Chain A
Amino acid sequence: MSEQIREQVSAFLDGELPSSETELLLKRLTRDPELRQSFGRYALIGESLRGVSGSASLSLGFAARINRSIDGEPAAPALPAARARPLHWWKPIAGTAVAAGVMGVAVVAWQQRAVAPGITAAPRVIAQNVRLAAVPEPISYTVPAPATAPAMMASARLTNYVFAHSKYSVGLGQGNLLSTLLSEDADAAQGAAVAEAASGNAAPRASTVPAVSRAAQTAP
């Protein structure tokens, strides 16, 4: 992200960017998936610096775990998914020469979400994090398995549940829920649900592509 765009993004997140420039930034963002990713990270770092950490929380993507199940690796979801997710997340961060302190915040934020299932495990994990944040190669970072590793859920059925639930969901979370279903990352889950609905059985899931490789080929 160039300095100029960084300033634009910063001004935008502070609500200070004039609408003409916002329009331009928006066009750039919709055209450029890489810039969009940077924008997400920048927004996150901004929030972390402001102390509102956990914004755009860096969790193990639900879809990523679902994808592992589709790839026929139903067991041990935490580790493979955790490895898959931060890879494309981390690399650019390391490359943007962010201060180590900020990285620490980001790692902790991510880790807290990642182990959300085992909240009791969090203090131990955070301690480990802070130490690891100083290591220059964060890509090698691995997630300690939470005390109670969440078991895998069958994707298609769960997506059907989410869809049925969204109908009754009150509150603004409903909008978020639909946005989640719209997003590319939910592909596998949604796709499986659709395939199941269409064919009347749960078999045709092979056509779905893992989210990670899809994220890598984000050509517009």
Chain B
Amino acid sequence: MPGQRFIEKYLSFRLSIAAMSFADSFHEICSVCETPISSGLTAGLCPRCLLGAAMADATDGELAETMNSGSVGPSGAGSLLDCFESTSDHGNQQTLFGDYVLIEEIARGGMGVVYRARHQKLGREVAMKVILSGQFASENDVRRFEMEAEAAAALDHPGIVPIYEIGQHQGHHFFTMKLIEGGSLAMRISELRKNLRTFVAVVAQVAEAIDYAHRRGILHRDIKPANILLDGDGHPLVTDLGLAKRTEAESDLTGTGAIVGTPAYMPPEQASASKEITTSADVYAIGAVLYEGLTGHPPHQGESPIATLMLAAKGEVQPPSSFNRQADRVLELVCMKCLSREPNERYASPGLLADDLRRWLAGESVSVRPKSLVSIFGEMVSDQLRSALGAMLIGVVGGLLTALPIYSNIAANLFGEPGAPFNLTELRESLPNFAVVDHWWLHPPAWLGNQGFLVGVSLSLLLGLAIEKIVRPRETRQAIAVGLVAGLLMTIVQFGMYGIAASWQTHKLTSSHRINAMARASLLAEQQRQQAVEYLFTEFPDLRALEPNDRAELLGKAVSTQMMLASPSSFLGTLGICLAFSIIYCVAGTIYANRLAMAKIWWLPMLVRYLEVMVMMSGAMVTLVFILLFKFGMVANEEGAIPVPLQLFVILAIWIAATMPGWRMMRWYTRWPIYVVCTLTALSLAGSVARGLE
């Protein structure tokens, strides 16, 4: 049973950590290789020596003696050279490797060690790159190593270090290349940048060499000063095609997703492994070398490689003049064009960059123009504009979706439908001279008020998701901001329509029957008039006690006052309802959609999760709307407005609680039972409230 094993292992793991943590905090230094030994770990043995012991041939039982004989010295030259020594027949002072004598180690890279070596017969000194851990290399290491050599050997250009030989010796893969004696640009950059013209000429030559490589279908992908060697005359030669990739044949060894290269000189698309790396990544890196010449440091500099990588991924580069006031403005333009965040805004090829650098050297004008104010403004605005337009669009659409059906329903009920209490057509038939315009918007189509409501509410469930898709907020703060703007616009649009309808509704509920009675009391024939008057007396019993002269005036005042005082609460209630709609659908919806988008879930489960939460939120919203309706006296029976039933608050709390499993990103088997329990509880409570009202 895997489960059982898992638990056992987990327990033993906890115990081992616990035991470790109480170990004495004293730690020693290995007497052989001076490596610090962690106390409490590896039984107090030196980790380096432990590994060294395992590196020697496993069939040889006397490896410990080999280790002891000092082959692992403090020089740290590593195991490879030692390995040759032990296998070499001429074991004296010289280390032989095939036809070559290894003279010294000059560099060490990710997968290879570079030696200065001399060909025994030709007498020529070369740089020899040997794959680390030679015969033990995995198939992939070998393939990558061979590709590297193959890529470099295919190139013949004065700006690229030539490859002499590719081979294998006793299972160790290697290649030899021209030995460049002048050191790398990394060592000499501070000296070279003092003479800007010389430096620019070097960069131009590098750009030409890389342009040549690109035309042969090879990307460098790790251009940096350390990979630009200088010969005795100061001519640059590009080397370390360790990361070079044939642009034509896609290799499966280093696909997108793996971050390779040097962060300080890396374009954002390479640092974030977001896009396919193209030739423009090399243009960026050459620009980064130029940048270092102008400022004295590479474009991205963090406290650690990781921090640098993060900076590179962001791709924001300060212009050289912000560090060096004397930086040449034209070169700055050229440099910043290379360092554009968008690959297609950089030079289309290193050749074009070289052309511009040559023009600068010749004192001619370059192809880059300073950015116009308009384009700077445009860039600044475009991002915000996208957010603003998206929010506006969604807000207006959301407002129409939710408010139009409600408005249509009320307008039809009051004015439009035949037999409606204020049907304008019937009114004008009876009173032909009645001065009222029968507007088209008083007769919305019937489907808008009926099916339209369901469609509108269903679609408005998706508002948050729509904002996420259209605006694509980069972080939660932006999602909240966009959601708020959309919500505000939605409220305004809703309030425009629903506010009008609600004021009609309020008037009808609070005052129309009294005005009706007053009209009948004044205009009907005697007996019916008396009935109307009696009705008014029951409505306002205090009238009986007054003088008949005062009655009419006070009644008019009382009814008008009631009408006027009903308006504010009706408006506030309506506004509250509109806000509830907007907050749930726009603000909460956007934030949740953004949260889901960041979790990078497949679209279908994402949609399901989103809809679940929005349905639960809708439950909360409907409850909130009812609470507001009660609160602002918009629910009334014959005895007048009804106070808010307290169960509604409980129902609201249940709906809000039901959104939590989704918000906390729980699994479906946790979420769904909670939804069922919450929904059933809320509905049964709502049922009891409804029965209570009847």
Query: Do the two shown chains form a genuine complex with each other?
Result: no
**Residue positions of B touching A, CB distance < 8 A:** none
A-side residues, CB < 8 A to B, are none
